[in-house]
Structure 1
């Protein structure tokens, strides 16, 4: 006689998938290009009506700047889901991508770096043309 596997682990796995789907409204791609080591900081705005996970992300980034992968680890969520939530928070102004000053680098170059980072954040699908 063969024993049947317990339905409890399958139910937990299915619940986790449904939860991630609900958190991201079924989206699997963030609007912004975010890498695992992308550092995030608290943004200038505090939107209302955020889901609990988004509030937790904002609170963590308020304590100190944190990389995307660290946020995913603390929340215990898949990095893709956290990327989608973070992208929404960047759009809402709750999070930002800080650009640190490099000692000895020209101020104009730092300004251009900040401007480039801001434009990439605002227009992630834009194509750059060299020359």
Structure 2
């Protein structure tokens, strides 16, 4: 039997082979305040601590400013688990995180309509 890091994280037929909370060692609270719209970006420094494969994939997704929601979708993990992984990366200096800048109100009708339009085009 291969070591866990050698095997696939996802299996097309069976789905996720590792329980999401196993990825975060059962932690459900990130040490960094993040919301779904928080933008994270790699700093370019290598983490000095051992990280799991999900941490590595998340770090690779942070080449440019990327939202927590996008990373969670790519990892196929719940948002709370993704926040824990990203806060680990923030804590070790591998990524930075900040709230997105809204030029208008974040609930501006035109912004919400643009998001809805984009979602409809994806479906």
TM superposition score category, shorter chain reference? 0.5 to 0.7
Change (3 A) 1:100 1:44: farther
TM-superposed CA distance for 1:20, in Å, is: 1.7
Q: Name the counterpart of 1:61.
A: 62
> Pairwise CA RMSD of aligned residues?
2.4
Question: 5+ unaligned residues in a row in structure 2: which ranges?
Answer: 1-13, 102-123
Give me the whole-angstrom Cα distance separating, in 2, the residues matched to 1:23 and 1:100. 27
Q: Name the counterpart of 2:19.
A: 19
Question: 5+ unaligned residues in a row in structure 1: which ranges?
Answer: 1-11, 102-131
Q: Which of 1 and 2 has greater Rg?
A: 1
Q: If the length of structure 1 is used for normalisation, what is the TM-score?
A: 0.58
Matched, 1:32 2:32: yes
- Which structure shows the bigger proportion of residues in strand conformation? 2
TM-superposed CA distance for 1:21, in Å, is: 2.1
- Which structure shows the bigger proportion of residues in helix conformation? 1
Corresponding pairs, count: 87
After superposition, residues 1-131 of structure 1 pair within 5 angstroms as 19-47=19-47, 49-62=50-63, 64-97=64-97
Change (3 A) 1:31 1:100: closer
TM-superposed CA distance for 1:95, in Å, is: 0.7
